[in-house]
Amino acid sequence: MIELYGADWCGDCLRSKRLLTRLGVDFEYLEVDKDDALRDKAVAINGGAQSIPVIVFSDGSHLTEPSDPVLREKLESLGLLGE
């Protein structure tokens, strides 16, 4: 399962959510502005940086603020696109 740490006020977060939804990829949306523990976890995953979205993949890797092409490439590399 993909975890997307983000906030509804974040344009990049909304863009990544839209792409995952459009591509039919299952993910869990974790709102960092509504839960301090989630915010702290996202910061820890991100090496101390407070940037979002932080997207964590089933292989343990993560991307921070990825562009749509970079996110799509990662999804393809994990075999998550049925195209």
Residue-level pLDDT at 83: 55
Give the C-alpha separation, 43 to 51, whole Å. Answer: 8
pLDDT in tens, 33-77: 999 999 999 999 999 999 999 999 999 999 999 999 999 999 999
> CATH top-level class for 2-77?
alpha beta
Residue-level pLDDT at 1: 87
Residue-level pLDDT at 80: 93
- Range of weakest confidence among 2-6, 43-47, 78-82: 78-82
Residue 82 has pLDDT above 70, yes or no: no
DSSP state of 66: -
For the chain, helix (H) and strand (E) counts, in that order, are 3, 4
